[in-house]
Every structure is written in C-alpha cells, then in structure tokens.
Amino acid sequence: MIELYIDEKTIKVSKDSSILDAALSHDIEIPNMCHLENQTGNTSCMLCVVEIEGIEKLQLSCAVKVKEGMRVISNSNRINEVRKKAIELLLSEHQGDCIALCQKSCPYNFNIPLMLRYIQKGDFFSAKILIRETPDFTEHSCEICKGYCEKACRRKTVDQSISIKSLITYTIQCTVKSSSEKEFIQDNKINNLQKEKDKKNSFSSIMKNLNNEELRELAKGKPDKQLNENNITSDTAINEALRCMHCDCRKKDNCLLRNYADTLNANQTYYKGCRKELQVIDLDEIILEPAKCISCGICDKISEIHCVDFGFTFLNRGFSITPTVPFNNYKDEKLKKLFKLYVDSCPTGALSWKND
C-alpha cells in the first residue's frame, strides 16, 4: 500500500492506482469524462489535471501512478482555468444545444423537441399529455404568441422552419377517445406537476433568460408559411415533425459535458471551431449522434473489455474522427446486450435512449 496526500487528506491505496482512482476511492471529486474505473486512462478530455508538489506543469491524474508521500492538489484557480479551457475546446466542435432554441425561445419553456418525437411516431396521445403537463401552457397560448419558436428553428438554415404552432394546435384538437383517457391525462398532469415542484429543474430556460442579442435575432422577420390548419391530417403532421433536425440533447439530466461547462462557467463559442454535421443514427433501442461525441474512447474501451466483435470504435483521425460500428452491424447481439452500459457510460448525449 502507498500513502499519499490529496488536498491535505491522507489516503492509502494500492501502488498500482492512478491519482484519479485514488481520489475517487476516497470521495475526492476530480472532474473527468473519459475514465473507466480500474482501466488505464484515455487522457482525452484533459479535465482531470492536478498539481503535484515538486512538478511545475499540471499532470493528468488518470495517467500518473501514485507514489509514497506524494502531495496532490486537486482544486485551485490555476487548475480550474485549465479545465475551463479544455471544456471550451470540446464545445468548439460540439454540435447541438443542451436545450433546443425552439424550446429556449418559448415563453413557457415547452419541450417542443420531445413533442415532435412523439408526433413522428404517430403518438399524438403522449404529445397531448406533454402539452397539458406544461405549467401555465393552455390551448390558447400559441394563438397569442408571436412564434418565437419558429423564428429560432434551426431547420431554417436548410429550407424553412417547422410549423410548430400548427402542430401544437392540431395535437390539442385531437379527440380524446374515452373517459378513461381523460382521467389518465388528468392524473398524469397532477402527478407530474407535483414532481415538477419536488425536482429542481436546473436547466430551465425561458425567454427572460435570453440575452439581448438573442432576443433581437429572434424578433427579426416573420415565421415561415404555416401548414394549413384546416387541412392538416395525422400524416401531414407526422411528415412535418420528421423535418426536425434534433438539435437538442436527449441527455439533459446527466450530461457531464454540460454539467462541467456550467460549473466552470465555460463559453461555448470562445473558440470558433467548425462544428460537426448533425446526424442521427437509429440503432433500434438507442440513438447515436456522432456530432455530440467528444472522442472520450469509453465506448471503444467497453467494446474491448467485453470482446464485442462489432462494438463501437473510431473511424478516421483528427477532426474527422467519428464513433461507429464496423460494417454498420448495429444488430449484433453482443452489442445490443451492452446498450445500457454504453448509454450510462457516455459522458454526453452522443449515445442515448431512443425514447428520451
């Protein structure tokens, strides 16, 4: 056993341990996004830097083995500044918003992307429940709104914005089939409102939180031509919803990249990098979005540990590197059995459950 000091705390660990493993085993938090317990560090995220007495340069705690009497500092202004820059570099090419602009611009913070995902599957019932669960949102809310969600829609960069207001109106007007469904909706609404009170929604973002520049941009022009609400059908609604670019994140609650960016007050646009092209790959139960990958290597290492023949790996190099499965064999049984481990271990929204 080796005795060392981390933040003046005396700890004892195996001589084969890394500084990061030593810290985590004694409840000392060192930020990291590419580390698997008891595995060699990938040294890709650069967040786990620490100061070691007697060494001028900061060191990656996941790659440095412990030594007898070693003194380590895991938190200081110097360390946090380096971590902040590391996060900003990762964000410079990270494609996607923690909260889609359509939702961010909505005065009611309505989860528009999730509604569109329900409509894409023809599940208007769940979409209606989502609308009714949203605090202060009524069937007349869109009538008096100036369509900020459509002005902010990223689809405009391709052709024209999605007719969000028309889809909401159509979904609200969908007939509830039975009294039992009415009761289900009401019970759901009450239960979820209570959950909302009990849970602090740290990623809530409504109009008043937009900065002046964003507000000016959203106020420009008019929304694109809407679907004809008098002639809209379930099929036209589904096709319209399918135009969504999915620029939001399905992993808002447990994305380490977002959490660390918030903690370190990182600026997403500090470095003007070339963002990756948005892409959504359907793997039956889970979704792969390569543009949100930070090349941490965790999915690759999991595949290696569990000897998955067609497990996740990387294609290309440098800025063109992207996660993939050899020969696109996403239905490999070994791979599918590890879906939960892949999703739970992914530090961003690159791998997430399809229905989130």
The model's pLDDT over 122-137, given as tens digits with 9 standing for 90+, comes to: 999 999 999 988 888 8
Q: Range with the lowest mean pLDDT among 2-6, 220-224, 255-259?
A: 220-224
pLDDT, position 208: 42
The confidence score (pLDDT) of residue 3 equals: 94
pLDDT value at position 21? Answer: 92
Among 8-12, 143-147, 154-158, 314-318, the range of highest mean pLDDT: 8-12
In angstroms, the CA 124 to CA 122 distance is: 6
The more confident residue out of 193 and 98 is 98
What are the two backbone dihedrals, phi and then psi, of residue 185, each rounded to the nearest 5 degrees?
A: -60, -45
**Same CATH fold, 276-353 and 2-75?**
no
> Percent of the chain beyond pLDDT 90?
35
Structure tokens at 67: 């030594």
| CATH architecture group of domain 276-353 | 2-Layer Sandwich (3.30)
Residues with Cβ within 8 Å of 208's Cβ and at least 6 positions away in sequence, in order, are none
24-81: pLDDT as tens digits: 999 999 999 998 877 777 788 999 999 999 999 999 999 999 999 999 999 999 999 9
DSSP 291: G
Written as six digits, the tokens of 6 are 């981390």
**Full-model pTM:** 0.69
**213 band by pLDDT with thresholds 50, 70 and 90:** low
Place of tokens 């059995």: 337
CA-nearest of 106, 61, 26, 97 to 255 is: 97
Backbone angles phi, psi at 290, to 5 degrees: -55, -30
Taking the domains of the chain in order of start, what are their residue ranges? 2-75, 101-241, 276-353
Beta strands in 117-238 (DSSP E): none
CB 64 within 8 A of CB 76: no
pLDDT at 215: 53
- Quote the pLDDT of residue 356: 63
**Runs of H (alpha helix) within 177-305:** 179-198, 212-219, 234-241, 256-263, 298-305
344 CB-near residues (< 8 Å, 6+ apart): none
**Which pair of structure tokens corresponds to residue 101?**
């602009």
Residue 2 CA to its chain's centroid (Å): 39
pLDDT at residue 214, as a whole number: 57
pLDDT score for 217: 61
**CA distance readout (Å), 328 to 44, 166, 322:** 25, 37, 13
Query: For the ranges 17-21, 58-62, 332-336, which has the lowest average pLDDT?
Result: 332-336
Mean pLDDT computed over 255-277: 82
Per CATH, the number for 2-75 is: 3.10.20.740
Per-residue model confidence as pLDDT tens digits over 152-206: 888 887 788 899 999 998 998 886 444 444 444 444 544 554 444 443 333 333 3
CA distance 41 to 20: 9
Kindly indicate the confidence band of residue 302, based on its pLDDT and cuts at 50, 70 and 90: very high
Closest CA to 223 of 296, 293, 149, 278: 149
Burial of 119 (C-beta count, 10 Å sphere; 0-12/13-18/19+) = buried
pLDDT for res 80: 95
Of 80-84, 192-196, 287-291, 348-352, least confident by mean pLDDT is 192-196
Select the highest-mean-pLDDT range: 73-87, 198-212, 306-320.
Answer: 73-87
Q: Please state, in angstroms and rounded to a whole number, the distance separating the CA atoms of residues 134 and 48.
A: 39
Q: Taking all residues of the chain, what is their mean pLDDT, rounded to a whole number?
A: 81
